[in-house]
Amino acid sequence: MKTISPLNALLDLPFQAFPAVEGPLSGYTLAVKDIFDIAGLPTQCGNPGKNHESAASITAPSVQKLLDSGAKFIGKTQTDELAFSLMGQNSHYPFPINPKAPGRVTGGSSSGSASAVAGGLADIAIGSDTGGSIRAPASFCGLIGLRTTHGRLSLGGAMPLAPSLDTFGWFARDMALYEKVGAVLLGPDETDFKLNRPLFIPLLEHYLLGEAEDAAFRAMYGHVAAHLGHAKSARQSTASMDDLYLCFRQIQGFEAWRAHGAWISAADRHLGPGVKERFEYGSTIDAQTYEAQTKRRDLFRSELADVLKGDGVMVLPTVPGAGPMVNSTFDELQAYRERALRLLCLSGLSGFPQITLPLGEVHGAPFGISLIGPKGSDSTLIRLGSAILSSAETRN
């Protein structure tokens, strides 16, 4: 398997086209992250030795929904190795190009999917989000991206990374299409959410990279405030942001090793830098630590639910700034990752939906703002995002 130009986004995998179907997504092209099964194709998960010889017999059900609604499958997209990265730099393949900022990373692990949509190779692309793999690439590439409520959409036929954190997601360039896909996959929310009470967590902006990022975030915040009003400070969690980051990291690491440790240990899998160390870290986490951190997560989830209730929406930067430069050192990328995960882990630990909107720019590159809603408010959050983007366009 090798990536093919342009953008190094799509994988060179032969396939037979699916029969054309009439539906709400007819006329739109679809690319799929290579952790999801597509009938007749291998699911290689970003590692040259993974499932190289075997092809999937059926298509992942959430992907099949889109095909049954008329979307035209055009190929699989590159993913970071075993979906355990945030930068879009798989050491086994040429890095996908960020069409909106070619000198910067696409973000991962849904790297090829973000690149394909941002570059116009596909109208819709499927990804997944465990630690930020929809939200970070969307912010870096100027796209809309929703981390769905944990468990709302099926991950059948998908490679697990950390099952209690893994979620299904997708990219699109415009909100009208994003809403169409949401209608197919999500349908209406079970609760009539209002989402008219904006909130923020004090000091979150301290995770931004610098003054330019702070100014860009304030400009985006102004668009949100023009639609919703100014956000009020939310009650702080009993856990600090560093506590929550460690909680996320240890739950993710433990579950990732449980999912892949036996396969990794059976032979030399030639794991790339960063991925190798993260799996090694996961192997050191014991069940007692995992259980304690699961209880901490449960408490945080309960506290955030109490803060949001049925009408609250948390406003925050999606990531610390524009995507890092492609030629950044390993240590620079790792420092960015750790800063970013302190923002991204809130939705991951709670399991609540988060949408990132391409409202900003910093240093000539895209930069997104995010909204976190209550559990199950996915469709309402998409509609709110649409209204904010529309009002921002009107203001401009």
Catalytically annotated residue among 110, 113, 133, 139 = 133
**Nearest-angstrom CA–CA distance, 165 and 41:** 26
Q: How far is CA 194 from the centre of its chain?
A: 24
Residue 180 appears among annotated catalytic residues: no
Please identify which of the residues 62, 69, 85, 109 carries the catalytic annotation: 109
Q: Could you tell me the maximum CA-CA distance found in the chain, to the nearest angstrom?
A: 58
Q: Are 31 and 125 in contact (CB under 8 A)?
A: yes
Is 85 a catalytic site residue? Answer: no
* Cβ contact 243:349 at 8 Å: no
Amino acid identity at 6: P
Rounded CA gap, 392 and 390, in Å?
Answer: 5
Rounded Cα distance, 121 and 115, in Å: 8
Burial class (CB within 10 angstroms; exposed 0-12, middle 13-18, buried 19+) of 382: buried
Coil, strand or helix: which one is 293?
helix
Report the amino acid identity of residue 281.
Y
Q: Are 385 and 371 in contact (CB under 8 A)?
A: yes
- CA 32: distance to chain centroid? 14
Compute how many other C-beta atoms are within 10 angstroms of the C-beta atom of residue 370: 28
The four Cα atoms 353, 133, 44, 157 give a dihedral, to 10 degrees, of 0
DSSP string for residues in 188-225:
S-SS-----EEEE-TTGGGGS-SHHHHHHHHHHHHHHH
In Å, how far are 31, 125, 193 from 37, measured between CA atoms?
12, 14, 34
Tell me if residue 375 is catalytic: no
The distance from CA 213 to its chain's CA centroid, rounded to whole angstroms, is: 21
User: Position 272: which residue type?
Assistant: G
**Active site members:** 33, 109, 133
